[in-house]
């Protein structure tokens, strides 16, 4: 019987491709793996452990803070700070960059501790999104300098999906042994898909090009709308099944709604590694030089054929 390779083994094997590697990056990913397991455990019993409901506060992005979101955020801060590998970190929940003063770590980590956290109250999939950079004089770096990005999905199964520049690989947590096992090696997005993911409740606020594109999909009779309101969930489905995910700017969100450093950059990096396309206003989101930790940006990503078709409408 073939034995499945686990996440730790896979990371160590990848490290061999980098002769100058000292193991720091491996230790960092192992800490993220540990945090993901703990968060998954708490989500499984959220309704029993006083993790439901809001805290009565809003975060730096002006979103209402959910209790399980607050717990996940603090766990990641504590875990990454104690790893010895992190110079600075930033979270969607924190107003400013958090510098780990006692450690001389080599990496900067941006993370959304629990994307779609309000969905825990209705038992819908949520996830942790992370993005890793080398330490630099300015921690706000363009996405093309990412050394790794990924997400941990808490759904019917728990998945750890990441790339460090050598394709996208997915690992599923086997609860019987407590290990993430390689289940989706070298993930590739289909060239074309027949689902589109967008908040059509905002339809009246979209520009004419976006409206025309949505209408064209409906007119074919081939496409289905799938939208959870949790980016990590919608993006994961799009990555596996193909299609297009859109969160464009609109009259209410003139700069876009999703955060460049916490959501747009890591997902764009993953989609490019998986053979997909990611655009912001027709350009590459990974080229944007951030001016603040909570900068927002419009984003469209998906299968090559779907995004290219969207671009025809964008430039019409």
In the CATH scheme, what is the code of domain 7-186? 3.30.540.10
Residues tagged active-site:
63, 69, 92-93, 112, 114-115, 263
**107 closest CA partner among 52, 174, 13, 28:** 28
Which residues of the chain fall below pLDDT 70? 1-2, 18-21, 46-66, 103
Domain 195-314, second-level architecture:
3-Layer(aba) Sandwich (3.40)
pTM of the model: 0.93
Q: What is the predicted pLDDT for the residue at 49?
A: 55
Say if 7-186 and 195-314 have the same CATH topology.
no
Q: What is the predicted pLDDT for the residue at 103?
A: 64
| Contact call for residues 36 and 75 (beta carbons, < 8 A) | no
Q: What is the predicted pLDDT for the residue at 58?
A: 56
To which residue do tokens 């096992």 refer?
181
Q: How many CB atoms lie within 10 A of CB 9?
A: 14
List the domain boundaries for the chain: 7-186, 195-314
Q: What is the predicted pLDDT for the residue at 85?
A: 93
């Amino acid at each position: 019987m073939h034995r499945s390779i686990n996440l730790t083994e896979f990371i160590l094997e990848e490290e061999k491709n980098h002769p100058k590697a000292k193991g720091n990056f491996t230790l960092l990913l192992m800490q993220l793996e540990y945090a993901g397991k703990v968060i998954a455990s708490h989500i499984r019993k959220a309704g029993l452990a006083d993790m439901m409901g809001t805290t009565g506060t809003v975060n730096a992005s002006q979103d209402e803070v959910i209790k399980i979101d607050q717990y996940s955020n603090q766990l990641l801060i504590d875990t990454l700070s104690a790893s010895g590998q992190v110079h600075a970190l930033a979270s969607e929940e924190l107003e400013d960059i958090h510098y780990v003063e006692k450690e001389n770590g080599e990496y900067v980590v941006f993370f959304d501790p629990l994307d779609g956290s309000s969905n825990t109250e209705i038992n819908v999939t949520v996830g942790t999104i992370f993005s890793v950079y080398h330490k630099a004089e300015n921690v706000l770096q363009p996405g093309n300098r990412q050394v790794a990005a990924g997400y941990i999905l808490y759904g019917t199964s728990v998945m750890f999906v990441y790339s460090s520049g050598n394709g996208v690989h997915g690992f599923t947590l086997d609860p019987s042994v407590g290990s993430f096992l390689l289940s989706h090696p070298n993930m590739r997005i289909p060239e074309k898909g027949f689902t589109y993911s967008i908040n059509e409740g905002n339809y009246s606020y979209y520009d004419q090009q976006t409206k025309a594109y949505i209408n064209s999909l409906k007119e074919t009779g081939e496409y289905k709308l799938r939208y959870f309101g949790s980016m990590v969930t919608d993006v994961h489905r799009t990555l596996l099944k193909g299609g297009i995910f859109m969160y464009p700017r609109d009259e209410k969100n003139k700069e876009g709604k999703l955060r460049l450093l916490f959501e747009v950059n890591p997902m764009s990096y993953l989609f490019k590694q998986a053979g997909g396309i990611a655009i912001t206003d027709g350009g590459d989101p990974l080229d944007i030089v951030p001016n603040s930790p909570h900068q927002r940006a419009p984003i469209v990503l998906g299968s090559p054929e779907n995004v290219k078709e969207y671009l025809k409408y964008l430039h019409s």
